[in-house]
Chains A and B, each alone.
Chain A
Amino acid sequence: MKTAALLGPYHADRVLAWENGHPMTYGRFLSDVGALADLLPEKPTVINLADDRYRFLVGFAAALVRGQTTLLPPSRAPGALTQIAREYSNSYCLVDGTEHVERLPSYQIPTGTGNRTDTAKVPQIPIDHTALVAFTSGSTGNSHPHSKTWGSLVAVARSTGARLGLKTSDQVTVVATVPHHHMYGLEASMMLPLQHGMPFHVGRPLFPEDVRLALADVPSPRMLVTTPLHIRACVTARSRLPPVECILSATAPLSRSLAKQAETLFQTTVYEVYGFTEAGSVATRRTVAESAWHVLDGITLLQESVGCSLQAPYLLGPIPFPDLVSLQKPDRFLLHGRGEDLVNIGGHRGSLSDLSQKLNEIEGVQDGVFFLPDDTETSVTRLIAFVVAPGKAAEHILSALRTVIDPVFLPRPLHLVPHLPRNETGKLTRDALLGLMQDLQKEERHGI
């Protein structure tokens, strides 16, 4: 049985996590993991809801040691959690607060309780073990599970580190604004430092001032794992960030001009990472210097008649790109945008047909559709919904939607209309919906 170590080069006294200026070492981590692993119930799957990055990682690692699989729900919406709990009914939850999921037992993640030994053995995890299951929303209305082997997580962390030129001896501290409950956050803010014996900051700064304070809270050199949204906020606020070696951005395309501004203002190097749930991180680019994406070592690009896909030794088979791409060189590709049905709001990926289906399942809704207006330069573009629901108020439909979809996809606004502009075959074209939106805006301006 082939295995890979839980962590990179092990030095008990090296820092793994910084919490309010307080260091937690790799040695303490291993004792926390060992202590929790002994306490975990005998169940195959666990939903880890811990908000604190260190506690989440202790829970994740303890589950690995016990041969269990961590489930990453697509969102915290009660409906999403209930669905996962129904499909994986023999699960339990790990929490660090008061969260719970209906029908599943919850366990707090204790830390600092293990017996500290300097001779701790680094756990070896089978590379074929399903370390986690991530979910994406599909067009059928249900979440699709995507299993990740331990081997694939380790391979992606190592190839990303190699691409960024990370060396264990550098001890770069990762500060992340992204949640660790999604693939990018988990890969870049946990697996990347863990597999290189480097530290991370436990928090999740949101506002530019938070980002500045979190970076100032850890020693140099530093790496900021973030999104175009947070980069724009820091640039707009002209934040005086402490020195940052590099900024890693993902979840949505970063414009070259914003990357340039960030590089100049923060005296740093900005890299983008491209990936998707099915494959994990796939490629990187230095946004100011190149348009093409350079695939991580080990990934092969395939041009097939229906589109492009990619293959890697740690993936079960070729995986088609969810976005429109064209191959440039054997290891480079260009990204041309998303498939028509896919949307990305603030880094959350969703399917318009899936969202529309959930809308149509709401009691009182006769017909309804989600729609993504054209992007604006200034702020995050939100979805719009057109709904036919005689006798129902928009608030009623919104509160029903709130229980079944990720709140980031809640429509802004939800328009109640007498009917939808379906064509003779019953289809709703983008042009017809754009026309409807413009008519409604005109009516509003005229105060009708």
Chain B
Amino acid sequence: MSDVSPLEMEVAKLIIRTLTLKVDPAQIQPEEPLFGDGLGLDSIDALELSLAISQSYGHQIRSDDPDTVATFASLRSLCQSIEKHRTK
């Protein structure tokens, strides 16, 4: 996994821990989709993940935010959103 920021590595680990996935954090490609065909996550995962993110970074994710579809699109976009809204 090349050109990965420290935050991206941290969030990749958070995703794996929260969702008990069986992948190496280094295997999560920052530009690959998290949901659907990528890691195959679903709405229950999105909910679990949103809680972990709000607890770790104080960022409350919501669906009607025009950015949300983009937020969960990939690890990179998720981290950009966290960077922008984090309070912790």
A residues with CB within 8 A of B: 205-210, 213, 229-230, 233, 236-237, 345-346, 379-380, 382, 398-399, 402, 407-408, 410, 412-413
User: Contact between A408 and B22 (Cβ–Cβ < 8 Å)?
Assistant: no
Interface size on B, residues (CB 8 A): 22
User: Contact between B44 and A398 (Cβ–Cβ < 8 Å)?
Assistant: no
User: Contact between A207 and B50 (Cβ–Cβ < 8 Å)?
Assistant: yes
User: Contact between B20 and A412 (Cβ–Cβ < 8 Å)?
Assistant: yes
User: Contact between B62 and A413 (Cβ–Cβ < 8 Å)?
Assistant: no
User: Contact between B44 and A408 (Cβ–Cβ < 8 Å)?
Assistant: yes
Q: Shortest distance in angstroms between A181's beta carbon and chain B's nearest beta carbon?
A: 13
Name the contact of A380 in the complex, choosing from B40, B44, B54, B55 (C-beta under 8 A).
B44
B residues with CB within 8 A of A: 18-22, 37, 40, 42-44, 46-48, 50-51, 54-55, 60-64
B18, B42, B44 — most chain A CB neighbours (10 Å): B44
A415, closest chain B residue (CB): B22
User: Contact between A207 and B47 (Cβ–Cβ < 8 Å)?
Assistant: yes
User: Contact between B43 and A206 (Cβ–Cβ < 8 Å)?
Assistant: yes
A382, closest chain B residue (CB): B20
* Interchain CA distance A213-B63 in the complex, whole Å: 10
7 smallest beta-carbon distances between A and B, as pairs: A413-B22, A209-B62, A346-B44, A209-B60, A207-B50, A210-B63, A210-B62
* Interchain CA distance A230-B40 in the complex, whole Å: 21
* Interchain CA distance A205-B64 in the complex, whole Å: 9
Q: Shortest distance in angstroms between A182's beta carbon and chain B's nearest beta carbon?
A: 14
Name the contact of B61 in the complex, choosing from A207, A213, A230, A407 (C-beta under 8 A).
A207
Chain B residues closer than 8 Å to A213, beta-carbon distance: 62, 64
Name the contact of B63 in the complex, choosing from A207, A233, A346 (C-beta under 8 A).
A207
Name the contact of A412 in the complex, choosing from B21, B46, B55 (C-beta under 8 A).
B21
Name the contact of A229 in the complex, choosing from B44, B54, B61, B63 (C-beta under 8 A).
B44
Chain B residues closer than 8 Å to A407, beta-carbon distance: 40, 42
B61, closest chain A residue (CB): A207
Query: What is the total of A-B residue contacts with beta carbons within 8 Å?
Result: 58
User: Contact between B50 and A233 (Cβ–Cβ < 8 Å)?
Assistant: yes
* Interchain CA distance A402-B38 in the complex, whole Å: 12
Chain A residues closer than 8 Å to B60, beta-carbon distance: 207-209, 237
Chain B residues closer than 8 Å to A379, beta-carbon distance: 18-20, 48
* Interchain CA distance A407-B36 in the complex, whole Å: 9
Chain B residues closer than 8 Å to A398, beta-carbon distance: 40
B42, closest chain A residue (CB): A407
A206, A229, A380 — most chain B CB neighbours (10 Å): A206
User: Contact between A233 and B47 (Cβ–Cβ < 8 Å)?
Assistant: yes
Q: Shortest distance in angstroms between B11's beta carbon and chain A's nearest beta carbon?
A: 17
* Interchain CA distance A380-B45 in the complex, whole Å: 9
Chain B residues closer than 8 Å to A410, beta-carbon distance: 40
A345, closest chain B residue (CB): B44
User: Contact between A229 and B42 (Cβ–Cβ < 8 Å)?
Assistant: no
A205, A213, A379, A380 — most chain B CB neighbours (10 Å): A379
Chain B residues closer than 8 Å to A408, beta-carbon distance: 42, 44
User: Contact between B20 and A229 (Cβ–Cβ < 8 Å)?
Assistant: no
* Interchain CA distance A236-B60 in the complex, whole Å: 12
User: Contact between B43 and A412 (Cβ–Cβ < 8 Å)?
Assistant: no
* Interchain CA distance A233-B55 in the complex, whole Å: 11
Q: Shortest distance in angstroms between B7's beta carbon and chain A's nearest beta carbon?
A: 21
- 22 pairs from A and B in contact (CB 8 Å cutoff): A206-B46, A206-B47, A206-B63, A207-B50, A207-B61, A207-B62, A208-B50, A208-B51, A208-B60, A210-B62, A229-B44, A230-B47, A233-B50, A233-B51, A236-B55, A345-B44, A379-B19, A398-B40, A402-B40, A407-B42, A410-B40, A413-B22
Q: Shortest distance in angstroms between A376's beta carbon and chain B's nearest beta carbon?
A: 9
* Interchain CA distance A379-B18 in the complex, whole Å: 8
Given the contacts A206-B47, A379-B48, A413 and B21 also touching, CB distance less than 8 Å? yes
Chain A residues closer than 8 Å to B48, beta-carbon distance: 379-380
Chain A residues closer than 8 Å to B47, beta-carbon distance: 206-207, 229-230, 233
* Interchain CA distance A209-B51 in the complex, whole Å: 11
User: Contact between B19 and A209 (Cβ–Cβ < 8 Å)?
Assistant: no
7 new A-B pairs (CB below 8 Å) besides A345-B44, A379-B18, A399-B37? A205-B63, A206-B46, A206-B63, A208-B51, A213-B64, A398-B40, A408-B42
Q: Shortest distance in angstroms between A231's beta carbon and chain B's nearest beta carbon?
A: 11
Q: Shortest distance in angstroms between A402's beta carbon and chain B's nearest beta carbon?
A: 7
